[in-house]
Chains A and B, each alone.
Chain A
């Protein structure tokens, strides 16, 4: 039985292997590092991510490569998403460094090790071509995140958030697994490419498939955080230490987009007519609940949590219309590609904006002070006109005001919706975006027209200031030249679908 053993091609999975090795090395090195600031660990973690990004760039061929008995797929979509994933994690770790150092229970090397393992989990999810690896990647990510939320263990709010996240996350994983087992029962395969072929050839029990699909969509909706599976988002975003909230709110959205694409769009697209309706309901409800509930919030982290719900709903519109475009009048790959790449563009833009928004909260936070209330941003313009300007860019961009990246993200998704002929969906999306603009603009009003409550000068280190500024300017720059990012998304999905 060992005669036909072939060593799998390790080249497509090189970044994963490197990251795993380095995470283990860092875990051991942490024992001998004496510095309380953990600078060597931090530097090594960032260097690992940079090297991973370089490996990804060098080894990316643009071809679709399978390895590990077809459980791992490396295509251009995976390359692009992983590249952005490394960039996001690097930025996130820079932002949260000062915050973590100020809070004693979190100032440990394990914070960085857990962040690396979470990154590995997301990479596995992005490259998953098998239900088993997809689930394991998801669990690796979730388990690391639960621990990171709970790390600030002297805080009751954080512990409560971790507990909620853990229980609801476990429930969601259970739903996902149940859905997967049903689909396995109907088709007899766990491999996503194989699944597509078997479904196309027909013969599978349709009602079992639909039954599984419902659970699968519910599990995915939990992980994406869209209504009515959004209950955990506000509490976890609010309760988690801001440095970790930033992590949860940004990078995992990339991985969630990847698994929705792999599971629903490539795996189960013969069932598109069924899941399309489910996603449409989720999208409309998310935009409604997210935007309306955000108005009532006085805590900025909670407000951004509801805004995350509405943004994810908006992103789903792109995925939904891709299928409509395929369905009406026969398959139209150009329109479908357009819709999917607009969804991908939306996710990338959202991650960029949310990183900057939480970066601003972290910039104002200091030891013993969280800066997460709307009050804390009062009169920011008088304290620091430059950073008030950065926050203005983020808020305008999230509201979808031209010419920032958020506008083009919304615009391209809406364009896809209109082309697919679902005008009512486009109208609903625009109305809720307008309602949403209110609470983003309120932040701007608070910063520019209210008197400051807190007059402490901003004492963030230089690297943090530079990075937040760069992030804010990137939002503006990509808003002027959105075609750079758009063409990357289109190219990435063209070779992957």
Chain B
């Protein structure tokens, strides 16, 4: 067994272990941390397959952004895991059936002859970096849609801010110059009333 195969098995073992812990850990923070480990190991396996771009993307996007956000949410919410676990055995048969179906479907797709990659296409010539190739395409042939997509994202950002930003009105901030300029007449209202007898 050569070194790459050995590394693959090591990563695969870590991946399976991490994925199992995601669903078995009692503490939600532990589960989220194991999910990070699973993503990271996935990235490592992609790197083994010479898909550097996907490897970097999954680490930057999922580990760097999505999971950090996820951890924040998990830490802030008080999730009662025991309540979630109730009825585990009741739902298990359905879960197993769905899982088996998914394995079967995947097997059908991967096993059918339409989806086989010819061996000649699978071997990349040496010195080809797919990050570089993607980048070159993105900034040459596809520069126009690439820039347009960035503008679409910008519009999304502007729209989100316009629709949710209500100005600093609901903060406790008090304008000092207004505070100093206040007069007694603005605060106290003197009413003229007839004297009332008991």
Q: Identify the A interface with B (CB < 8 A).
A: 1-2, 5, 8, 13, 20, 27, 68-69, 71-72, 108, 110, 113-114, 117, 120, 124, 130, 132-133, 136-137, 139-140, 143-144, 146-147, 150-151, 153
The minimal Cβ–Cβ distance linking A435 to chain B, given in whole angstroms, is 40
The minimal Cβ–Cβ distance linking A177 to chain B, given in whole angstroms, is 14
Complex Cα–Cα for A2 and B148 (A)? 22
Residues of B within 8 A of A69 (CB): 140-142, 144
Classify the secondary structure of B's interface with A: helix
B140-175 contacts to A, CB under 8 A, are 140-145, 148-149, 151-152, 154-156, 158-159, 161-163
The answer, yes or no, to whether B132 is at the interface (CB within 8 Å) is yes
B155 adjacent to A144 (CB under 8 Å) = yes
The answer, yes or no, to whether B86 is at the interface (CB within 8 Å) is no
The minimal Cβ–Cβ distance linking B142 to chain A, given in whole angstroms, is 8
The minimal Cβ–Cβ distance linking B60 to chain A, given in whole angstroms, is 23
The answer, yes or no, to whether B136 is at the interface (CB within 8 Å) is yes
A136 adjacent to B145 (CB under 8 Å) = yes
Complex Cα–Cα for A201 and B140 (A)? 29
B163 adjacent to A124 (CB under 8 Å) = no
The minimal Cβ–Cβ distance linking B70 to chain A, given in whole angstroms, is 25
B144 adjacent to A71 (CB under 8 Å) = yes
Which of B132, B140, B141, B155 has the most chain A CB atoms closer than 10 A to its own CB? Answer: B155
Can you spell out 6 A-B residue pairs with CB atoms less than 8 angstroms apart? A13-B144, A68-B143, A69-B141, A117-B158, A132-B142, A147-B158
B145 adjacent to A71 (CB under 8 Å) = yes
The minimal Cβ–Cβ distance linking B49 to chain A, given in whole angstroms, is 21
The minimal Cβ–Cβ distance linking A244 to chain B, given in whole angstroms, is 13
Task: Using A120-B151, A124-B148, A151-B163 as known contacts, say yes or no to A5 and B140 having CB atoms under 8 A apart.
Answer: yes
The answer, yes or no, to whether B133 is at the interface (CB within 8 Å) is yes
Whose C-beta in chain A lies nearest to the C-beta of B137? A1
Residues of A within 8 A of B141 (CB): 69
Complex Cα–Cα for A211 and B159 (A)? 35
Residues of A within 8 A of B132 (CB): 1
Which of A8, A72, A136, A146 has the most chain B CB atoms closer than 10 A to its own CB? Answer: A136
Task: Using A1-B132, A1-B133 as known contacts, say yes or no to A139 and B144 having CB atoms under 8 A apart.
Answer: no
B163 adjacent to A143 (CB under 8 Å) = no
Q: Identify the B interface with A (CB < 8 A).
A: 132-133, 136, 140-145, 148-149, 151-152, 154-156, 158-159, 161-163
Of the candidates A108, A136, A151, the one whose C-beta lies within 8 Å of that of B148 is: A136
The minimal Cβ–Cβ distance linking B141 to chain A, given in whole angstroms, is 4
B140 adjacent to A136 (CB under 8 Å) = no
Whose C-beta in chain B lies nearest to the C-beta of A5? B140
Complex Cα–Cα for A8 and B163 (A)? 37
A108 adjacent to B162 (CB under 8 Å) = yes
Residues of B within 8 A of A108 (CB): 162
Task: Using A1-B133, A69-B141 as known contacts, say yes or no to A143 and B152 having CB atoms under 8 A apart.
Answer: yes
Residues of A within 8 A of B161 (CB): 110
B133 adjacent to A117 (CB under 8 Å) = no
Complex Cα–Cα for A137 and B159 (A)? 17
B152 adjacent to A147 (CB under 8 Å) = no
The minimal Cβ–Cβ distance linking B72 to chain A, given in whole angstroms, is 27
Complex Cα–Cα for A69 and B137 (A)? 11
B136 adjacent to A1 (CB under 8 Å) = yes
Residues of A within 8 A of B148 (CB): 124, 133, 136-137, 140
B143 adjacent to A8 (CB under 8 Å) = yes
The minimal Cβ–Cβ distance linking B129 to chain A, given in whole angstroms, is 10
Residues of B within 8 A of A137 (CB): 148
B144 adjacent to A68 (CB under 8 Å) = yes
Complex Cα–Cα for A301 and B118 (A)? 60
Task: Using A1-B133, A2-B136, A120-B151 as known contacts, say yes or no to A151 and B145 having CB atoms under 8 A apart.
Answer: no
The minimal Cβ–Cβ distance linking A148 to chain B, given in whole angstroms, is 9
Residues of A within 8 A of B140 (CB): 2, 5, 69
The minimal Cβ–Cβ distance linking A451 to chain B, given in whole angstroms, is 42
Of the candidates A1, A133, A144, A147, the one whose C-beta lies within 8 Å of that of B144 is: A133
Complex Cα–Cα for A147 and B148 (A)? 18
The minimal Cβ–Cβ distance linking A245 to chain B, given in whole angstroms, is 18
A143 adjacent to B155 (CB under 8 Å) = yes
Residues of B within 8 A of A151 (CB): 162-163
The minimal Cβ–Cβ distance linking B134 to chain A, given in whole angstroms, is 11
A110 adjacent to B144 (CB under 8 Å) = no
A133 adjacent to B145 (CB under 8 Å) = yes
A147 adjacent to B163 (CB under 8 Å) = yes
B151 adjacent to A147 (CB under 8 Å) = no
